[in-house]
């Protein structure tokens, strides 16, 4: 089976963050655990990367962004409402389209593939909060 390519490079590891059971955002996960690691080791490293992203920038962005349909914040900061899983093929396509659009607009770089793409219609309340 061939790996998915994005501009000639393998698509990064993508995970979906669910908030209260609703798939909300697809994010890249930056893990380098080597070829000899087990799936459990890969999963543990991915969860650690996601947790760090939530603490450093992503959590604040999700708290400051609102669902365009419900007009409620996407997240209230309660980590017990979060779950993560590998992104589905449909979610990967959503991420790839968003990332390609960002590349064309100059908002992203192939060399730095950290990117997050909403799966819900979202409004970023704070102008400095961008989800990339």
> Is the residue at 131 inside a domain?
no
Determine the average pLDDT of the residues in 95-106.
87
What's the chain look like in SS3?
CCCCEECCEECCEEEEEEECCEEEEEEEECCCCCCCCCHHHHHHHHHHHHHHHHHHHHHHHHHHEEECCCCCECCCCCHHHEEEEECCHHHHHHHHHHHHHHHHHCCCECCECCCEEECCCEEECCCCCCCC
> Is the residue at 102 inside a domain?
yes
Determine the average pLDDT of the residues in 68-92.
91
Q: Helix (H, G, I), strand (E, B), or coil: what is residue 128?
A: coil
* pLDDT mean across residues, the chain: 80
Whether 116 and 129 have beta carbons less than 8 Å apart is answered as no
> Is the residue at 45 inside a domain?
yes
Residue span of the structural domain in which 59 resides: 5-124
> Is the residue at 130 inside a domain?
no
35-39, 65-69, 95-99, 104-108, range with the lowest pLDDT: 35-39
Query: Which pLDDT tens digit goes with each residue over 32-49?
Result: 666 677 878 878 888 888
> Is the residue at 107 inside a domain?
yes
CA atoms of 58 and 32, how far apart (whole Å):
21
Determine the average pLDDT of the residues in 116-120.
84
pTM score of the predicted model = 0.78
> Is the residue at 61 inside a domain?
yes
Residue 23 has pLDDT above 50, yes or no: yes
Number of domains present in the structure of the chain = 1
CA atoms of 132 and 126, how far apart (whole Å):
14
> Is the residue at 129 inside a domain?
no
CA atoms of 91 and 28, how far apart (whole Å):
12
> Is the residue at 66 inside a domain?
yes
């Amino acid at each position: 089976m061939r790996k998915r390519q994005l501009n000639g490079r393998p698509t990064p590891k993508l995970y979906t963050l669910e908030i209260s059971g609703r798939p909300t955002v697809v994010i890249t996960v930056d893990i380098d655990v080597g070829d000899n690691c087990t799936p459990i080791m890969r999963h543990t490293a991915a969860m650690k990367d996601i947790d760090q992203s939530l603490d450093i920038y992503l959590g604040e962005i999700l708290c400051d962004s609102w669902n365009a349909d419900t007009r409620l914040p996407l997240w209230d900061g309660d980590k017990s409402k979060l779950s993560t899983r590998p992104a589905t093929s449909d979610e990967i396509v959503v991420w790839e389209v968003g990332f390609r659009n960002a590349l064309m607009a100059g908002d992203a770089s192939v060399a730095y593939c950290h990117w997050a793409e909403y799966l819900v219609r979202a409004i970023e309340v704070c102008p400095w909060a961008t989800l990339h």
